[in-house]
Amino acid sequence: MEVIRKNFKEALPLVAASVKKADFLVIDTEFTGIINGRDVSMFDTPEEYYKCTQKGSSEFLLIQFGLCAFHWNHKEKHYMNDAYNFYLFPRGSPGPDRMFMCQSSSLDFLASQGFDFNKLIKDGISYMTVPIECKLRENLTERQKTYSKGKDSIKVPDEHKAYVEDICNQVHQFLEEGQLDEMEIDKCNSFVRLLLFQELRARFKDKILVETKILENKNRLLNVKRVKSQDDLKNHDALKKEREWEDFEDAVGFSKVARMISESEKLVVGHNMLLDVMHTLNHFFQPLPAEYTQFKEFTHCMFPHILDTKYMSSLPPFKDKVNSSILKHLLATLSAAPFSLPKVVSDEGRGYSQLHEKHHEAGYDAYVTGLCFLAMHSHLANMRGDDTTRFLSITSPLIKPFLNKVFLSRTAHQDSPFINLAGPEPLPPRDHVFHLAFPREWQRNEITQLFSPFGPITVQFIDDTSAFVALARREQATSVSKALAKHSKITLTSYYKYKKINDTPSSKTATKTAEVANDCKKTEKTPVRTSALQINATGTTPVNKVIIPEKVPRDRSNSVSPITPPRKRTFSTSSGGFEVNELESPTKKLKDASETKKRIDEKIIDRFDSEAKPACVTVFKDDDCWD
Amino acid sequence: MEVIRKNFKEALPLVAASVKKADFLVIDTEFTGIINGRDVSMFDTPEEYYKCTQKGSSEFLLIQFGLCAFHWNHKEKHYMNDAYNFYLFPRGSPGPDRMFMCQSSSLDFLASQGFDFNKLIKDGISYMTVPIECKLRENLTERQKTYSKGKDSIKVPDEHKAYVEDICNQVHQFLEEGQLDEMEIDKCNSFVRLLLFQELRARFKDKILVETKILENKNRLLNVKRVKSQDDLKNHDALKKEREWEDFEDAVGFSKVARMISESEKLVVGHNMLLDVMHTLNHFFQPLPAEYTQFKEFTHCMFPHILDTKYMSSLPPFKDKVNSSILKHLLATLSAAPFSLPKVVSDEGRGYSQLHEKHHEAGYDAYVTGLCFLAMHSHLANMRGDDTTRFLSITSPLIKPFLNKVFLSRTAHQDSPFINLAGPEPLPPRDHVFHLAFPREWQRNEITQLFSPFGPITVQFIDDTSAFVALARREQATSVSKALAKHSKITLTSYYKYKKINDTPSSKTATKTAEVANDCKKTEKTPVRTSALQINATGTTPVNKVIIPEKVPRDRSNSVSPITPPRKRTFSTSSGGFEVNELESPTKKLKDASETKKRIDEKIIDRFDSEAKPACVTVFKDDDCWD
């Protein structure tokens, strides 16, 4: 079901009913861009990954939200889907006038998938965060109190006096003649309207009501209405206030749906869902914290049960059978033996079937993600000898290994770190990774040749003269360091050392402190990560945090670490919803990558065809499908 | 004529011909937003106004460009118009992937005017600045040199070996059977495509050509072509290079039109054209300089003859006869006595007539602006006893008072400063303006009352507890200072003093230097302006500039100051076009306001109806029509 602002009010109770009866919910979103600034790296830790994504993506807008609620048909023993595809556009007034970023390649991609931008801007549903909502609610309440008070006046400038007099005479005549109930005053700019508003109110007081009227084409008129009784005046004020509150509720708009999902505490499924979750929190709840641990707590508090089908498909028993976990490919894989898709139907006009084939429409992608989840869930159940296709409970042991773990795109070839929202997560070692500075004329060939005695490598270019190089034969790390230490044309630095020097948030002032902090812990074998160096809200006092990676098993299937329950913070106030944390001012949050919504592997072609170095940095950025 | 990317190549020679035969050109543009950050103030000097606008608007995108060329029909003795309405969207590849800002109210307004965003994103013409063009041209040249070189290889990971082998066998079979000329490989992600690309090239060398093919829906396939002769291979490389250059020229796109207009050196007319000019330079030429004088020089160099009809209509003999200079209203005023619109027609499908009524379509607004210019020009000619309706020369004394002066919206009630691109301009005095800090509970009424002994005032709110207050009776300034100096609830500061303290670009580090600099010049009667305090490109060394306002006559009609020819800088290189100045890295440039394209006076309603203080700051921001 497509939901736009015209049918939002009617859809809201339907959505509530769907959420209520659902066994689980699936979400998917579309935004105006993916990443601004530095891209994620395949060597990032989960924390680095989050910070990079938070910094690089928060200024983009969420423009489509797909919600697919799966509920069980007891009689027919299969799932039904209620699907909603919401177009979202937070237009100004009474909400705030939003400034937001777009990425041209993202819009280009969405357009090629049939995304309707005219519908978006004309008919999109508004939304706002909780802090903004509270602020505006307060403002409106305050403003309405002043309605009964008198207004003061602005002097009419000489050049407008004649015109104002003329209009006043016209209104006088309109009142005298008493034939019409309304008259309109056109063709004046806002200043003249202001003058007229004031003069007419002063001269004709309780005899007329003066209002600005906005036409369909945004032209403005002054509308003058004859007052027939004193009740007219009273009703007018009451009606006006009521209308303002209605408009305000419309502006809060979609946020209500997001909060409904949160309050249900049901399992929320997504595919490659980090960005979906981040944008959902950032746009409908409150700005994301810069701190990684705060983000995990906040997310876990708002959505206590999350499952990422991309993460699920990347673990045994699916890993070896899934050639590509791009959503469309995953669906194809799960449609054939040894898997099978469950029967899922919908009431007429209320959900999708596979025939719709609306890939990259958020609602459809949510539906497909739900199918994938059910197929994988059934497969696991079958392996245990169960033949139910129903997902019964969030405490089911079948989903436990996957619960609250979020996939991190593009890190797969480097031990696939993931985010564990419900506890700490392992940090994959980076002892086999080096930062390499090389001559400008070098291409990939020269680098491969340099490392050839040590086996195959993975190269991630940073710019024209530097790259990260990872060894496939990790045990060669020490030999590499020794052998290339004195090489005349290149400089090789261990990854940890390089990060230590470079990962200071505001490099110049903070570097020194960072070095001091790091020196305390420096050993070659127990690498110290300094990426958590932070600047407080005023940007002046660096706070040091030194995190030492735990020793972790390399096999991801073993990585289900013991869950430490996070400190639950209270997000609730009398005004409903939850407490507004005074986080730092909304900082720029940026980038990530997920192949389904987030395209732009266009430039990979340059690489296939030319393998040219100048394009490599961009190339890495764009090939979302490296997993 | 609507121009999109499909017909751009065909339109280009038509545009060139129109520009060549035109007596004058009219432009108008639409963008994705107006101002981000601080708004312009009615008390701003031209320099402050520019800086504010530059800072607040440069991240928005120019999405529609209207060009209307007026040429004289000698036989029929009237003007013809050739009009072009270009949709512009700089999509990534081979141009850069653009990150840009949008303002939700601006998009909302454009949508209400029928702007087609789907057409914009699907069919918009690309563009880029000269520095970007040079860089990319160089990159492509370099990259093409590597095509003949060998590529190195990436190790095929174990999990992909079987698949890669399978595809290689299929290709082998395809070659053996020899029935088909092409085969396609689907359903693999970009990494697998990369592996296949490499393996197929290595194993089948000169027997096949492998290319990535992008479908309409952005899906990617590997396309394998049988090589029939060695010429196939050679042609393939040559064709590929040629195609790349074609794509590159498409990506330079509309910039060619903008540069064509510049090179013509013809009179370029616009209405309220500051933002049009700024965006044109910033998007098609090079990032705007932060320095005001550099901006003036740069603009004057690129467009040596500019005329702003909004400025023209704000001076005698038009001033008193034009009630509102909103373009649509101006057209209406100039359609009736004592004015008259000239006869302007067009060849079928090549221009507009007034029947089109497509207000806010850039092409139509350019056409209407041209009509207004001609009507005012004829009026001036008539006053001198000429009855020609033709605009003959940029040296005409009729337009001299208006030439190269740009209107500054919303400053009209404070002496209307303007930008003189061809020389210095007067600085209106601000001795009658004060900064007022007041208690949070105060509304406008309290302020009016406070100043009531000194006559009417103009209030511009800054926030909940401060405002600028301007006296209508300017001679009262000293009395006000004295009378309110000891007031217990408020703090009154002279405007100059306030600006001196607050207009330091990066307040903390620069304040001290500013104070030192200002102390040298400080007197009460010769106010010192410190807004020109600047930080150089590295952001470290403040450079001081102290500008003392000239004594200027208050009547704007006398403000045609002697023109000092600016130092012309050479903007030309061998590569055609002009030299790329190494300006500071593209900084954020922001805001301005013009009523025609730039709406959002929505919130003015709050003010009419409620006169509420909390809304006042926004209100001032939004009422573009204060003139």
* Beta-carbon separation of A329 and B98 below 8 A: no
B109 — phi, psi (to 5°)? Answer: -65, -50
In this structure, of A229-233, A445-449, B70-74, B246-250, the range with the lowest mean pLDDT score is: A229-233
pLDDT one-digit tens code per residue, B410-461: 887 777 789 999 999 988 889 999 999 999 888 888 888 899 888 888 888 8
Query: Could you confirm whether domain A433-503 is CATH 3.30.70.330?
Result: yes
Say yes or no to pLDDT of A567 above 80: no
Record the tokens describing residue B521, joined without a space: 């010049």
Q: According to the model, what pLDDT value does residue A523 have?
A: 30
- Alpha carbon of A280 to those of A58, A88, A99: distances in Å? 10, 12, 18
With a CB cutoff of 8 Å and minimum separation 6, the contacts of A435 are A462, A466, A467, A468, A469, A492, A493, A494, A495, A497, A498
Terminal Cα distance for chain B, rounded:
32
Tell me which residue of A525, A472, A465 sits closest to A494, measured CA to CA.
A525
* Beta-carbon separation of A93 and B615 below 8 A: no
* Beta-carbon separation of A472 and B155 below 8 A: yes
Q: According to the model, what pLDDT value does residue A148 have?
A: 64
Q: Which of B105, B194, B240 sits opposite A97 (nearest CB)?
A: B105
- Chain A residues touching residue B586 (CB < 8 angstroms): none
Q: According to the model, what pLDDT value does residue A582 have?
A: 27
Length of chain B: 627
Task: Choose, out of A122, A155, A190, A451, the residue to mutate when testing the contact with B (most B CBs < 10 Å).
Answer: A190
d(CA A504, CA A498): 11
Q: What is the largest CA-CA distance in chain B?
A: 102
Record the tokens describing residue B13, joined without a space: 């020679």
* Beta-carbon separation of A609 and B155 below 8 A: no
* Beta-carbon separation of B193 and A608 below 8 A: yes
d(CA A218, CA B407): 24
The C-alpha of B445 sits at a distance from chain A's nearest C-alpha, in angstroms, of 6
Tell me which residue of A591, A593, A594, A625 sits closest to A608, measured CA to CA.
A625
The C-alpha of A201 sits at a distance from chain B's nearest C-alpha, in angstroms, of 11
Share of chain A above pLDDT 90, in %: 48
Task: Choose, out of A218, A324, A335, A607, the residue to mutate when testing the contact with B (most B CBs < 10 Å).
Answer: A218
Q: According to the model, what pLDDT value does residue B610 have?
A: 28
Give the pLDDT band (50/70/90) at residue B473.
confident
Q: Which of B112, B163, B618 sits opposite A218 (nearest CB)?
A: B112
More confident residue, A76 or A179: A76
pLDDT one-digit tens code per residue, A266-284: 999 999 999 999 999 999 9
d(CA A184, CA B48): 39
With a CB cutoff of 8 Å and minimum separation 6, the contacts of A16 are A260
* Beta-carbon separation of A212 and B608 below 8 A: yes
Q: According to the model, what pLDDT value does residue A142 have?
A: 87
d(CA B508, CA B525): 28
- Chain A residues touching residue B614 (CB < 8 angstroms): 139, 142-143
Q: Which of A92, A113, A332 sits opposite B187 (nearest CB)?
A: A332
**Superfamily name with CATH number, domain A146-231:** R3H-like domain (3.30.1370.50)
**For every residue of B396-450, which 3-state class applies, written as one string?**
CCCCHHHECEEECCCCHHHCCCEEECCCCCCCCCCCCEEEEECCCCCCHHHHHHH
d(CA A115, CA A31): 11
- Chain A residues touching residue B606 (CB < 8 angstroms): 143
Task: Give the dihedral sign, CA A505/A509/A510/A515.
Answer: positive
Say yes or no to pLDDT of B41 above 90: no
Instruction: Provide the 8-state DSSP code for B529.
Output: B
Q: Which of A99, A146, A160 sits opposite B612 (nearest CB)?
A: A146
d(CA B213, CA B223): 6
> Residue range A347-373: average pLDDT?
93
Q: Which of A91, A326, A602 sits opposite B93 (nearest CB)?
A: A602
* Beta-carbon separation of A111 and B121 below 8 A: yes
Share of chain B above pLDDT 70, in %: 79
The C-alpha of A601 sits at a distance from chain B's nearest C-alpha, in angstroms, of 7
Q: According to the model, what pLDDT value does residue A206 have?
A: 81
Q: Which of A101, A240, A608 sits opposite B212 (nearest CB)?
A: A608
> Residue range A241-264: average pLDDT?
95
* Beta-carbon separation of B189 and A324 below 8 A: yes
Q: Which of B104, B197, B607 sits opposite A92 (nearest CB)?
A: B104
> What amino acid occupies position B419?
I
Q: According to the model, what pLDDT value does residue A441 have?
A: 85
Q: According to the model, what pLDDT value does residue B614 have?
A: 26
Nearest 10 degrees: CA dihedral of A566, A571, A572, A578? -150
pLDDT one-digit tens code per residue, B448-462: 889 988 888 888 888
- Chain A residues touching residue B33 (CB < 8 angstroms): 99
Instruction: Return the residue of B nearest to A118 by Cα.
Output: B117
Angle formed by the axes of helices A292-302 and A46-57, nearest 10°: 80
CB B244 within 8 A of CB B140: yes
d(CA A306, CA A58): 21
Give the pLDDT band (50/70/90) at residue B509.
very low
With a CB cutoff of 8 Å and minimum separation 6, the contacts of B96 are B90, B128, B132, B136
- Chain A residues touching residue B413 (CB < 8 angstroms): 157
DSSP A38-98: SPP-TT--HHHHHHHHHHHHTTBPEEEEEEEEEEEETTTTEEEEEEEEEEB---SSSS---
Instruction: Return the residue of A nearest to B116 by Cα.
Output: A118
Give the pLDDT band (50/70/90) at residue A521.
very low
Say yes or no to pLDDT of B246 above 90: yes
Q: According to the model, what pLDDT value does residue A504 have?
A: 59
Helix (H) or strand (E) holding A449: helix A444-451
- Chain A residues touching residue B612 (CB < 8 angstroms): 142-143, 146
Residue B61, SS3? coil
Terminal Cα distance for chain A, rounded:
32
CB A501 within 8 A of CB A512: no
Task: Choose, out of B36, B190, B328, B454, the residue to mutate when testing the contact with A (most A CBs < 10 Å).
Answer: B190
More confident residue, B251 or A598: B251
> Residue range A135-158: average pLDDT?
78
Tell me which residue of B109, B107, B63, B115 sits closest to B86, measured CA to CA.
B63
Q: According to the model, what pLDDT value does residue B150 have?
A: 55
* Beta-carbon separation of B626 and A323 below 8 A: no
Give the pLDDT band (50/70/90) at residue A544.
very low
Count interface pairs A-B at CB distance under 8 A.
257
What mean pLDDT is reported for chain A?
A: 78
Record the tokens describing residue A49, joined without a space: 């990954």
CB A346 within 8 A of CB A353: yes
Say yes or no to pLDDT of A518 above 70: no
Q: According to the model, what pLDDT value does residue B153 have?
A: 65
* Beta-carbon separation of B615 and A36 below 8 A: no
The C-alpha of A212 sits at a distance from chain B's nearest C-alpha, in angstroms, of 7
Cis peptide bond N-terminal to A424, omega within 30:
no
* Beta-carbon separation of B101 and A97 below 8 A: no
CB A472 within 8 A of CB A455: yes
Share of chain A above pLDDT 70, in %: 79
More confident residue, A166 or B519: A166
More confident residue, B621 or A82: A82
Q: According to the model, what pLDDT value does residue B201 have?
A: 82
Enter the ipTM: 0.78
Query: Could you confirm whether domain B2-128+254-420 is CATH 3.30.420.10?
Result: yes
Computed on alpha carbons and rounded to an integer, the radius of gyration of chain B in Å comes to 30
pLDDT one-digit tens code per residue, B365-379: 999 999 999 999 999
Q: Which of B33, B104, B146 sits opposite A610 (nearest CB)?
A: B146
Give the pLDDT band (50/70/90) at residue A117.
very high
Q: Where are the domains of chain A?
A: 2-128+254-420, 146-231, 433-503
More confident residue, A472 or A73: A73
Most confident of A65-69, A481-485, A565-569: A65-69
- For residue B552, with 0-12 CB atoms within 10 Å meaning exposed, 13-18 middle and 19 or more buried, which class applies? middle
Q: According to the model, what pLDDT value does residue A533 have?
A: 24
Say yes or no to pLDDT of B607 above 90: no
Q: According to the model, what pLDDT value does residue A367 have?
A: 97
On the question of a common fold for A146-231 and A433-503, the answer reads: no
Say yes or no to pLDDT of B571 above 50: no
Instruction: Return the residue of B nearest to A156 by Cα.
Output: B456
Helix (H) or strand (E) holding B123: helix B117-123
**For every residue of B537-577, which 3-state class applies, written as one string?**
CCCCCEECCCECCCCCCCCHHHCCCCCCCCCCCCCCCCCCC
More confident residue, B8 or B147: B8
Task: Choose, out of A38, A106, A107, the residue to mutate when testing the contact with B (most B CBs < 10 Å).
Answer: A107
Q: According to the model, what pLDDT value does residue A201 have?
A: 82
Q: According to the model, what pLDDT value does residue A222 have?
A: 85
Q: Which of B188, B189, B216 sits opposite A595 (nearest CB)?
A: B189
* Beta-carbon separation of B606 and A122 below 8 A: no
Tell me which residue of A509, A434, A443, A448 sits closest to A477, measured CA to CA.
A434
B448-484 CB burial, b ≥16 within 10 A, e <16: bebbeebebbbbbbbeeebbbbbbeeeebbeebeeeb
Give the pLDDT band (50/70/90) at residue B151.
low
Q: According to the model, what pLDDT value does residue A150 have?
A: 55
The C-alpha of B584 sits at a distance from chain A's nearest C-alpha, in angstroms, of 18
In this structure, of A91-100, A192-201, B245-254, B524-533, the range with the lowest mean pLDDT score is: B524-533
* Beta-carbon separation of B147 and A102 below 8 A: no
Record the tokens describing residue B451, joined without a space: 């100043």
Q: According to the model, what pLDDT value does residue B195 have?
A: 83
More confident residue, A382 or B603: A382
The C-alpha of A192 sits at a distance from chain B's nearest C-alpha, in angstroms, of 8
Say yes or no to pLDDT of B75 above 60: yes
Q: According to the model, what pLDDT value does residue B148 have?
A: 64
CB A595 within 8 A of CB A324: no
In this structure, of A303-307, A417-421, B478-482, B501-505, the range with the lowest mean pLDDT score is: B501-505
Q: According to the model, what pLDDT value does residue B625 have?
A: 31
Give the pLDDT band (50/70/90) at residue B330.
very high
CB B428 within 8 A of CB B555: no
Q: According to the model, what pLDDT value does residue B621 have?
A: 27
* Beta-carbon separation of A142 and B614 below 8 A: yes
* Beta-carbon separation of A143 and B216 below 8 A: no
Task: Choose, out of A117, A148, A313, the residue to mutate when testing the contact with B (most B CBs < 10 Å).
Answer: A117
* Beta-carbon separation of B163 and A103 below 8 A: no
